[in-house]
Amino acid sequence: MVTNITSFGRSGLSDWLMQRVSAVILALYTVFVVAYLLFNPNLDYYTWSGLFEQTWMRIFSLLAFVSIAAHAWIGLWTVTTDYLKSTRLRVGAQTLIILAIFVYLVWGIQILWGA
Amino acid sequence: MSNLQVSVYRYNPETDSAPYMQEFQVDTKGRDLMVLDVLHLMKEQDSGLAYRRSCREGVCGSDGMNMNGKNGLACITPLSDVVKNNKLTLRPLPGLPVIRDMVVDMGLFYKQYERIQPYLQNDTPAPAIERLQSPEERDKLDGLYECILCACCSTSCPSFWWNPDKFVGPAGLLQSYRFLADSRDTATRERLTSLEDPFSVFRCRGIMNCVAVCPKGLNPTRAIGKIREMLLADAT
Protein backbone atom coordinates (compact mmCIF):
# COMPACT_ATOMS: atom_id res chain seq x y z
CA MET A 1 0.00 0.00 0.00
CA VAL A 2 1.48 3.32 -1.10
CA THR A 3 0.19 6.39 0.74
CA ASN A 4 -0.86 9.51 -1.15
CA ILE A 5 -2.78 12.62 -0.17
CA THR A 6 -3.10 14.75 -3.30
CA SER A 7 -4.72 12.22 -5.66
CA PHE A 8 -8.41 12.85 -6.41
CA GLY A 9 -10.03 10.03 -4.45
CA ARG A 10 -7.07 8.90 -2.29
CA SER A 11 -7.56 5.48 -3.87
CA GLY A 12 -6.27 4.08 -7.13
CA LEU A 13 -9.43 2.06 -7.61
CA SER A 14 -11.82 5.00 -7.18
CA ASP A 15 -9.61 7.25 -9.36
CA TRP A 16 -9.52 4.58 -12.04
CA LEU A 17 -13.30 4.14 -12.01
CA MET A 18 -13.91 7.90 -11.89
CA GLN A 19 -11.57 8.42 -14.86
CA ARG A 20 -13.56 5.96 -16.94
CA VAL A 21 -17.03 7.18 -15.94
CA SER A 22 -16.06 10.84 -16.51
CA ALA A 23 -14.58 9.91 -19.90
CA VAL A 24 -17.92 8.41 -20.98
CA ILE A 25 -19.83 11.50 -19.80
CA LEU A 26 -17.40 13.82 -21.61
CA ALA A 27 -17.66 11.73 -24.79
CA LEU A 28 -21.48 11.90 -24.69
CA TYR A 29 -21.40 15.66 -24.06
CA THR A 30 -18.94 16.25 -26.90
CA VAL A 31 -20.96 14.15 -29.34
CA PHE A 32 -24.14 16.01 -28.33
CA VAL A 33 -22.66 19.51 -28.69
CA VAL A 34 -20.95 18.72 -32.01
CA ALA A 35 -24.15 17.13 -33.37
CA TYR A 36 -26.19 20.14 -32.17
CA LEU A 37 -23.84 22.54 -33.98
CA LEU A 38 -23.95 20.42 -37.15
CA PHE A 39 -27.76 20.22 -37.16
CA ASN A 40 -28.12 23.97 -36.52
CA PRO A 41 -25.94 25.56 -39.20
CA ASN A 42 -27.56 29.02 -38.86
CA LEU A 43 -27.27 29.11 -35.09
CA ASP A 44 -28.07 32.49 -33.50
CA TYR A 45 -27.69 33.78 -29.95
CA TYR A 46 -31.33 33.14 -29.01
CA THR A 47 -31.36 29.49 -30.02
CA TRP A 48 -28.00 28.92 -28.32
CA SER A 49 -28.96 30.63 -25.04
CA GLY A 50 -32.38 28.97 -25.27
CA LEU A 51 -30.67 25.60 -25.27
CA PHE A 52 -28.75 26.48 -22.12
CA GLU A 53 -31.90 27.69 -20.37
CA GLN A 54 -33.36 24.20 -20.40
CA THR A 55 -32.94 22.54 -17.00
CA TRP A 56 -31.82 19.22 -18.52
CA MET A 57 -29.11 20.99 -20.57
CA ARG A 58 -27.88 22.81 -17.47
CA ILE A 59 -27.70 19.55 -15.54
CA PHE A 60 -25.96 17.85 -18.48
CA SER A 61 -23.46 20.74 -18.76
CA LEU A 62 -22.79 20.84 -15.03
CA LEU A 63 -22.23 17.08 -15.10
CA ALA A 64 -19.73 17.59 -17.93
CA PHE A 65 -17.97 20.40 -16.01
CA VAL A 66 -17.64 18.28 -12.87
CA SER A 67 -16.48 15.35 -15.01
CA ILE A 68 -13.78 17.38 -16.74
CA ALA A 69 -12.62 18.73 -13.36
CA ALA A 70 -12.27 15.22 -11.93
CA HIS A 71 -10.79 13.87 -15.16
CA ALA A 72 -8.18 16.64 -15.33
CA TRP A 73 -7.26 16.28 -11.66
CA ILE A 74 -6.72 12.53 -11.94
CA GLY A 75 -4.85 12.74 -15.25
CA LEU A 76 -2.59 15.65 -14.40
CA TRP A 77 -1.90 14.30 -10.91
CA THR A 78 -0.64 11.12 -12.59
CA VAL A 79 1.57 13.13 -14.96
CA THR A 80 3.11 15.09 -12.07
CA THR A 81 3.88 11.93 -10.08
CA ASP A 82 5.53 10.38 -13.14
CA TYR A 83 7.70 13.27 -14.24
CA LEU A 84 8.24 15.75 -11.39
CA LYS A 85 10.72 14.12 -9.04
CA SER A 86 11.43 17.15 -6.85
CA THR A 87 8.86 17.18 -4.03
CA ARG A 88 8.74 20.98 -3.89
CA LEU A 89 8.11 21.23 -7.64
CA ARG A 90 5.56 18.40 -7.63
CA VAL A 91 3.49 19.68 -4.70
CA GLY A 92 3.66 23.19 -6.19
CA ALA A 93 2.43 21.96 -9.58
CA GLN A 94 -0.31 19.85 -7.99
CA THR A 95 -1.51 22.82 -5.91
CA LEU A 96 -1.59 25.07 -8.99
CA ILE A 97 -3.45 22.45 -11.03
CA ILE A 98 -6.07 21.87 -8.32
CA LEU A 99 -6.56 25.63 -7.81
CA ALA A 100 -6.93 26.19 -11.56
CA ILE A 101 -9.47 23.37 -11.81
CA PHE A 102 -11.43 24.90 -8.92
CA VAL A 103 -11.42 28.36 -10.50
CA TYR A 104 -12.53 27.02 -13.89
CA LEU A 105 -15.27 24.95 -12.28
CA VAL A 106 -16.73 27.87 -10.30
CA TRP A 107 -16.39 30.13 -13.33
CA GLY A 108 -18.21 27.56 -15.47
CA ILE A 109 -21.03 27.27 -12.93
CA GLN A 110 -21.35 31.05 -12.84
CA ILE A 111 -21.65 31.25 -16.64
CA LEU A 112 -24.19 28.44 -16.62
CA TRP A 113 -26.41 29.46 -13.69
CA GLY A 114 -25.60 33.11 -13.12
CA ALA A 115 -27.45 36.14 -14.53
CA MET B 1 33.32 -11.65 -44.10
CA SER B 2 30.86 -12.99 -41.56
CA ASN B 3 32.12 -10.57 -38.94
CA LEU B 4 29.29 -9.24 -36.83
CA GLN B 5 29.54 -5.67 -35.55
CA VAL B 6 28.63 -5.62 -31.88
CA SER B 7 28.34 -2.53 -29.75
CA VAL B 8 28.31 -3.22 -26.02
CA TYR B 9 27.55 -1.03 -23.02
CA ARG B 10 30.57 -0.87 -20.74
CA TYR B 11 30.75 0.66 -17.31
CA ASN B 12 33.02 -0.12 -14.41
CA PRO B 13 32.19 2.36 -11.64
CA GLU B 14 35.62 1.80 -10.04
CA THR B 15 37.58 2.97 -13.08
CA ASP B 16 35.18 4.71 -15.50
CA SER B 17 33.80 8.18 -14.90
CA ALA B 18 30.92 7.51 -17.30
CA PRO B 19 29.47 4.57 -19.26
CA TYR B 20 30.56 4.14 -22.88
CA MET B 21 29.88 1.82 -25.83
CA GLN B 22 32.65 -0.56 -26.89
CA GLU B 23 32.79 -1.92 -30.44
CA PHE B 24 33.57 -5.59 -31.11
CA GLN B 25 34.03 -7.55 -34.34
CA VAL B 26 32.79 -11.08 -33.81
CA ASP B 27 33.40 -13.91 -36.26
CA THR B 28 30.20 -15.97 -36.20
CA LYS B 29 31.48 -18.25 -39.04
CA GLY B 30 28.12 -17.70 -40.70
CA ARG B 31 26.19 -19.50 -37.98
CA ASP B 32 22.94 -18.24 -36.50
CA LEU B 33 24.27 -18.15 -32.93
CA MET B 34 22.37 -17.14 -29.84
CA VAL B 35 23.23 -13.68 -28.51
CA LEU B 36 24.72 -15.32 -25.40
CA ASP B 37 27.18 -17.27 -27.61
CA VAL B 38 28.26 -13.96 -29.13
CA LEU B 39 28.86 -12.60 -25.62
CA HIS B 40 31.09 -15.63 -24.91
CA LEU B 41 33.06 -14.93 -28.10
CA MET B 42 33.46 -11.30 -27.02
CA LYS B 43 34.61 -12.37 -23.57
CA GLU B 44 37.38 -14.33 -25.29
CA GLN B 45 38.51 -11.02 -26.81
CA ASP B 46 38.06 -9.02 -23.60
CA SER B 47 37.86 -11.06 -20.42
CA GLY B 48 36.82 -7.99 -18.43
CA LEU B 49 33.33 -7.95 -20.00
CA ALA B 50 30.77 -8.67 -17.28
CA TYR B 51 27.35 -10.25 -17.77
CA ARG B 52 25.14 -12.75 -15.94
CA ARG B 53 24.36 -16.20 -17.29
CA SER B 54 23.66 -19.59 -15.84
CA CYS B 55 21.48 -22.25 -17.48
CA ARG B 56 21.91 -20.92 -21.06
CA GLU B 57 18.51 -22.36 -22.04
CA GLY B 58 15.89 -19.81 -20.99
CA VAL B 59 15.04 -21.34 -17.64
CA CYS B 60 17.04 -19.42 -15.03
CA GLY B 61 16.33 -15.89 -16.26
CA SER B 62 19.85 -14.57 -15.56
CA ASP B 63 20.76 -13.12 -18.94
CA GLY B 64 17.91 -10.69 -19.51
CA MET B 65 19.28 -7.74 -21.50
CA ASN B 66 18.40 -5.15 -24.10
CA MET B 67 19.27 -6.39 -27.58
CA ASN B 68 18.91 -3.86 -30.42
CA GLY B 69 16.39 -1.98 -28.31
CA LYS B 70 14.25 -4.90 -27.16
CA ASN B 71 14.50 -6.77 -23.88
CA GLY B 72 14.90 -10.53 -23.96
CA LEU B 73 16.98 -13.49 -22.81
CA ALA B 74 20.31 -13.60 -24.66
CA CYS B 75 20.50 -17.39 -24.44
CA ILE B 76 17.31 -18.07 -26.41
CA THR B 77 17.45 -15.11 -28.80
CA PRO B 78 19.00 -16.12 -32.15
CA LEU B 79 20.95 -13.45 -34.03
CA SER B 80 18.50 -13.77 -36.94
CA ASP B 81 15.76 -12.44 -34.62
CA VAL B 82 17.51 -9.22 -33.60
CA VAL B 83 20.42 -8.33 -35.88
CA LYS B 84 19.75 -5.64 -38.47
CA ASN B 85 22.33 -4.61 -41.11
CA ASN B 86 24.89 -6.90 -39.47
CA LYS B 87 24.84 -4.73 -36.31
CA LEU B 88 23.97 -5.71 -32.77
CA THR B 89 23.75 -3.29 -29.84
CA LEU B 90 23.69 -4.76 -26.35
CA ARG B 91 22.71 -2.78 -23.28
CA PRO B 92 21.78 -3.76 -19.73
CA LEU B 93 18.10 -3.96 -18.74
CA PRO B 94 16.84 -0.34 -18.76
CA GLY B 95 15.85 1.52 -15.61
CA LEU B 96 17.83 -0.44 -13.02
CA PRO B 97 21.15 0.75 -11.55
CA VAL B 98 24.18 -0.73 -13.34
CA ILE B 99 26.66 -2.58 -11.15
CA ARG B 100 29.05 -3.25 -14.01
CA ASP B 101 28.69 -3.58 -17.80
CA MET B 102 25.56 -5.72 -18.42
CA VAL B 103 25.05 -6.55 -14.74
CA VAL B 104 22.24 -4.59 -13.07
CA ASP B 105 21.15 -4.28 -9.46
CA MET B 106 17.83 -6.15 -9.28
CA GLY B 107 17.15 -4.97 -5.71
CA LEU B 108 14.12 -2.80 -6.56
CA PHE B 109 12.66 -5.53 -8.75
CA TYR B 110 12.93 -8.12 -5.97
CA LYS B 111 11.60 -5.67 -3.42
CA GLN B 112 8.39 -5.28 -5.43
CA TYR B 113 8.19 -9.05 -5.82
CA GLU B 114 8.57 -9.48 -2.05
CA ARG B 115 5.85 -6.88 -1.45
CA ILE B 116 3.10 -8.96 -3.08
CA GLN B 117 3.86 -11.85 -0.67
CA PRO B 118 4.61 -14.51 -3.27
CA TYR B 119 3.65 -17.54 -1.21
CA LEU B 120 0.46 -19.40 -0.36
CA GLN B 121 -1.37 -18.10 2.69
CA ASN B 122 -4.08 -20.23 4.21
CA ASP B 123 -5.53 -19.83 7.69
CA THR B 124 -7.68 -22.98 7.66
CA PRO B 125 -6.37 -26.11 9.45
CA ALA B 126 -4.00 -28.10 7.27
CA PRO B 127 -5.56 -31.33 5.95
CA ALA B 128 -3.94 -34.71 6.66
CA ILE B 129 -2.23 -35.01 3.31
CA GLU B 130 -2.49 -32.00 1.00
CA ARG B 131 -4.81 -29.23 -0.18
CA LEU B 132 -6.47 -30.54 -3.30
CA GLN B 133 -7.48 -28.51 -6.34
CA SER B 134 -9.91 -29.47 -9.08
CA PRO B 135 -8.43 -29.56 -12.61
CA GLU B 136 -10.43 -26.39 -13.37
CA GLU B 137 -8.96 -24.58 -10.34
CA ARG B 138 -5.48 -25.68 -11.37
CA ASP B 139 -6.08 -24.44 -14.93
CA LYS B 140 -6.41 -20.88 -13.61
CA LEU B 141 -2.72 -20.88 -12.71
CA ASP B 142 -1.58 -21.63 -16.26
CA GLY B 143 0.10 -18.62 -17.82
CA LEU B 144 0.95 -17.29 -14.34
CA TYR B 145 3.25 -19.76 -12.59
CA GLU B 146 5.68 -20.05 -15.52
CA CYS B 147 7.33 -16.66 -14.82
CA ILE B 148 11.08 -16.97 -14.24
CA LEU B 149 11.55 -13.41 -12.87
CA CYS B 150 14.04 -12.39 -15.55
CA ALA B 151 12.77 -8.76 -15.26
CA CYS B 152 12.53 -8.27 -19.04
CA CYS B 153 8.91 -7.08 -18.66
CA SER B 154 9.25 -4.74 -15.69
CA THR B 155 12.36 -3.06 -17.12
CA SER B 156 10.59 -2.41 -20.44
CA CYS B 157 7.70 -0.67 -18.65
CA PRO B 158 7.84 3.16 -18.49
CA SER B 159 5.57 3.15 -15.42
CA PHE B 160 8.18 1.00 -13.67
CA TRP B 161 10.99 3.27 -14.89
CA TRP B 162 9.33 6.35 -13.38
CA ASN B 163 8.12 4.77 -10.13
CA PRO B 164 10.07 1.56 -9.43
CA ASP B 165 9.66 2.09 -5.70
CA LYS B 166 5.85 2.37 -5.84
CA PHE B 167 4.52 0.56 -8.91
CA VAL B 168 4.77 -3.21 -8.43
CA GLY B 169 5.52 -3.74 -12.12
CA PRO B 170 4.24 -6.40 -14.53
CA ALA B 171 6.34 -9.26 -13.15
CA GLY B 172 5.24 -8.67 -9.55
CA LEU B 173 1.61 -8.19 -10.57
CA LEU B 174 1.56 -11.39 -12.64
CA GLN B 175 2.74 -13.22 -9.51
CA SER B 176 0.28 -11.30 -7.36
CA TYR B 177 -2.56 -12.56 -9.55
CA ARG B 178 -1.08 -16.06 -9.45
CA PHE B 179 -1.84 -16.10 -5.69
CA LEU B 180 -5.13 -14.17 -5.98
CA ALA B 181 -6.33 -16.80 -8.45
CA ASP B 182 -5.18 -19.76 -6.36
CA SER B 183 -8.12 -21.65 -4.81
CA ARG B 184 -5.89 -22.68 -1.88
CA ASP B 185 -5.05 -19.12 -0.86
CA THR B 186 -7.31 -17.44 1.72
CA ALA B 187 -5.59 -14.04 1.99
CA THR B 188 -7.41 -12.60 -1.04
CA ARG B 189 -8.96 -9.67 0.82
CA GLU B 190 -5.66 -8.65 2.44
CA ARG B 191 -3.85 -8.96 -0.88
CA LEU B 192 -6.43 -6.77 -2.63
CA THR B 193 -6.39 -4.14 0.13
CA SER B 194 -2.64 -3.73 -0.23
CA LEU B 195 -3.02 -3.08 -3.98
CA GLU B 196 -5.81 -0.51 -4.24
CA ASP B 197 -3.67 2.66 -3.97
CA PRO B 198 -2.98 4.78 -7.10
CA PHE B 199 0.48 3.30 -7.67
CA SER B 200 0.79 -0.43 -6.95
CA VAL B 201 -1.55 -1.66 -9.71
CA PHE B 202 -3.16 1.43 -11.17
CA ARG B 203 0.03 2.98 -12.51
CA CYS B 204 -0.28 0.42 -15.33
CA ARG B 205 -1.36 2.29 -18.46
CA GLY B 206 -1.85 -0.87 -20.49
CA ILE B 207 0.76 -0.19 -23.16
CA MET B 208 1.65 -3.91 -23.16
CA ASN B 209 5.43 -3.60 -23.52
CA CYS B 210 5.53 -6.42 -20.97
CA VAL B 211 3.54 -8.72 -23.25
CA ALA B 212 5.70 -7.82 -26.25
CA VAL B 213 8.98 -8.77 -24.56
CA CYS B 214 8.13 -11.70 -22.26
CA PRO B 215 10.49 -14.54 -23.29
CA LYS B 216 8.04 -17.07 -21.88
CA GLY B 217 5.08 -15.69 -23.84
CA LEU B 218 3.13 -14.66 -20.73
CA ASN B 219 0.58 -11.85 -20.51
CA PRO B 220 1.02 -9.60 -17.44
CA THR B 221 -1.43 -7.01 -18.85
CA ARG B 222 -4.24 -9.55 -18.77
CA ALA B 223 -3.35 -10.47 -15.17
CA ILE B 224 -3.40 -6.77 -14.22
CA GLY B 225 -6.84 -6.47 -15.81
CA LYS B 226 -8.04 -9.42 -13.73
CA ILE B 227 -6.68 -7.82 -10.55
CA ARG B 228 -8.60 -4.63 -11.41
CA GLU B 229 -11.77 -6.68 -11.93
CA MET B 230 -11.27 -8.36 -8.54
CA LEU B 231 -10.66 -4.98 -6.85
CA LEU B 232 -13.78 -3.53 -8.47
CA ALA B 233 -15.92 -6.55 -7.55
CA ASP B 234 -14.67 -6.39 -3.96
CA ALA B 235 -15.12 -2.65 -3.43
CA THR B 236 -18.41 -1.80 -5.17
Nearest CA in chain B to A7: B198
Count of CA atoms in the C-beta half-sphere (13 A) of B62: 11
Q: Do A16 and B200 touch (CB under 8 A)?
A: no
Chain B nearest-CA distance from A18, in A, is 12
End-to-end CA distance of chain A: 48
Tens digit of each residue's pLDDT (9 = 90 or more) over A7-55: 998 899 999 999 999 999 999 999 999 999 999 999 999 999 999 999 9
Chain A nearest-CA distance from B58, in A, is 33
Tens digit of each residue's pLDDT (9 = 90 or more) over B37-95: 999 999 999 999 999 999 999 999 999 999 999 999 999 999 999 999 999 999 999 99
Q: What is the CATH number of the domain that holds B163?
A: 1.10.1060.10
Task: Give how many domains chain B has, as a whole number.
Answer: 2
Q: Do A83 and B163 touch (CB under 8 A)?
A: no
Q: What backbone phi and psi angles, to 5 degrees, belong to B146?
A: -75, -10
Q: Per-domain residue ranges for chain A?
A: 12-113
Q: Write down which residue in B104, B133, B165 finishes a domain.
A: B104
Same domain, B211 and B145: yes
ipTM of the complex: 0.87
Same domain, B176 and B140: yes
What lies within 8 Å, CB to CB, of B200 at 6+ separation is A1, A2, A12, B115, B166, B167, B168, B194
Which of B161, B168, B196 to mutate against chain A (most A CBs within 10 Å)?
A: B196
Taking only residues 64 to 83 of chain A, the set having a beta carbon closer than 8 angstroms to any beta carbon of chain B reads 78, 81-83
Asked if pLDDT for residue A1 goes beyond 80, the answer is: no
pLDDT on residue B58:
95
Which residues span the domain enclosing B138? 107-235
Q: What is the CATH number of the domain that holds B61?
A: 3.10.20.30
Q: What backbone phi and psi angles, to 5 degrees, belong to B227?
A: -65, -45
Q: How many CB atoms lie within 10 A of CB A100?
A: 13
Tens digit of each residue's pLDDT (9 = 90 or more) over B152-208: 999 999 999 999 999 999 999 999 999 999 999 999 999 999 999 999 999 999 999
Tens digit of each residue's pLDDT (9 = 90 or more) over B192-232: 999 999 999 999 999 999 999 999 999 999 999 999 999 99
* CB burial string B163-195: b at 16+ within 10 A, e below: bbebbbbbbbbbbbbbbbbbeebebeeebbebb
Same domain, B135 and B177: yes
CATH 2.60.40.1180 correct for A12-113: no
Asked if pLDDT for residue A115 goes beyond 70, the answer is: no
Query: CB contact, 8 Å: A92 with chain B?
Result: no
Chain B hits for A79, CB-CB cut-off 8 Å, are: none
Are A58 and A99 in contact by the 8 Å Cβ rule? The answer is no
Tens digit of each residue's pLDDT (9 = 90 or more) over B17-49: 999 999 999 999 999 999 999 999 999 999 999
Q: Say if residue A71 carries a ligand binding annotation.
A: yes
Q: Do A13 and B235 touch (CB under 8 A)?
A: yes
Q: Write down which residue in B79, B104, B129 finishes a domain.
A: B104
Confidence at A5, pLDDT banded by 50, 70, 90: confident
Same domain, B91 and B131: no
Same domain, B73 and B187: no
What lies within 8 Å, CB to CB, of B180 at 6+ separation is B188, B191, B192, B226, B227, B230
Q: Do A82 and B159 touch (CB under 8 A)?
A: yes
Same domain, B111 and B222: yes
Query: CB contact, 8 Å: B117 with chain A?
Result: no
